[in-house]
Amino acid sequence: MFSLLQKYKTPLLLSDQAIFSGTSFLVTILLARSLSVVDFGVYAGLILILYLITSLISAFVVQPLQVSLPSVENKPAYLSFTFWIQLISCAFFVGLIALMLILPFEIFAPFAKLALPSAVLSVGFIMHDYFRKRLLAEDRVPATLISDVVLMIGHGIAIGFIFINQTLSLPQVIALLGFGYLPSLMAGIVFVAPSFKGLTNWIEYSKLHLHQGKWLFYSALVQWWAGNLFVVASGFFLGSAALGALRLVQSLFGVLNVLFQTFENYVLPQTAKRMHQSADEARRFLKKVSGQSLLGVGVLLLMLFLFSDIIIVLAGGEQFREYGFLVKGMSVLYALIFAGYPIRIAIRALVLNKIFFKGYVLTFLFGLLTSYLLLFYFNLAGAVAGLILSQMILLIYWQIELQKKEFIVWK
């Protein structure tokens, strides 16, 4: 069966990402309609923190794996090493979240009841991210698809129960979503079959990951703040309604992860593999994949831009109609992000991790210096403008550095 599925790898890859992103999108929309504005804001804040933690762990585990796997000789030992390091890192950060929520500090007091449910959700979120990215790095697309279908079923049951039972408390909602991850985690463990193979090589692998991961870790930390500074500042300066609207619109654009995450999780290791052959081969591969994706992304973004008011009302209800302009602004932002993804992949494939980090430092500093002024004078429109300008700064800097390396994607 797997050999048959492997023959249709490309459509399966796109189907898998559609299922994964579509599930996340559906969960977010139904939660926005099921929870109060305050509770939805708390949930959105937890997810933002989980994205940060996942990125920090990924910097030392998954991201080095994506570019190092093709050149590692003892692959079973190396993959086993990454699983146990991932698990230990996950346990540390999840324990830290739970501990913070139960500490007797006034700022955390309202969230004490979320400690255990948040821990369950966090384990599922973090470990599922590892399983699917590792399977994609191994080019095991059918296994990834099965894992994400199982997740879709688990979360489908959970969100259906939540949507029908509108009286559930936020801790109950978060716990149900956390338990929805359990079937997919079991599938992931079956697929990767963790063991303690090649223990004698783990010191060598640790050095490799520390060497590659240090700049990626700093990049993940700065990248999170660079990407979310205007979002956090919107909530701080403009209030919870503005933050909720911005997060809802960002969730709407999660559907574009069908292609963006494909670049990150599949195209990156494939580009790195071709880079070992020649830079020209890697460049041609990036151009081909980007060109094939251009029409679909362009049409989708144009539809979002033209029907922004209708889309925001369908997603969040009539009370969000006034925020239709955010959809237009995000359409422009995501067009820029997509245009720059080949540049991002080239930076990663060439292992220019220090340059990767410096780019996000520039955007973080820009956000730090301009967020207050943009929000003060232009409100949420200023937040979107800040995100667009930050992306432009990032891509221009990376492109300049690639030109110095004589690697031009669109040559």
pLDDT at 2 (0 to 100): 46
pLDDT at 88 (0 to 100): 94
- Domains in the chain: boundaries: 1-197, 215-406
pLDDT at 1 (0 to 100): 45
pLDDT at 313 (0 to 100): 82
Q: Which two tokens stand for residue 36?
A: 């109060």
Average pLDDT by consecutive 10-residue portion of the chain (411 residues)?
54 80 84 78 83 91 87 86 94 89 69 87 95 90 92 93 86 94 95 84 88 82 81 74 76 69 72 77 77 77 89 77 88 88 83 83 90 88 92 92 76 59
pLDDT at 346 (0 to 100): 83
pLDDT at 147 (0 to 100): 94
Per-residue 3-state assignment (H helix, E strand, C coil) for the chain: CHHHHHHCHHHHHHHHHHHHHHHHHHHHHHHHHHCCHHHHHHHHHHHHHHHHHHHHHHHHCHHHHHHHHHHCCCHHHHHHHHHHHHHHHHHHHHHHHHHHHHCCCCCCHHHHHHHHHHHHHHHHHHHHHHHHHHHHHCCCHHHHHHHHHHHHHHHHHHHHHHHHCCCCCHHHHHHHHHHCCHHHHHHHHHHHCCCCCCHHHHHHHHHHHHHHHHHHHHHHHHHHHHHHHHHHHHHHHHCHHHHHHHHHHHHHHHHHHHHHHHHHHHHHHHHHHHHCCCHHHHHHHHHHHHHHHHHHHHHHHHHHHHCHHHHHHHHHCHHHHHHHHHHHHHHHHHHHHHHHHHHHHHHHHCCCHHHHHHHHHHHHHHHHHHHHHHHHHHHHHHHHHHHHHHHHHHHHHHHHHHHHCCCCCCC
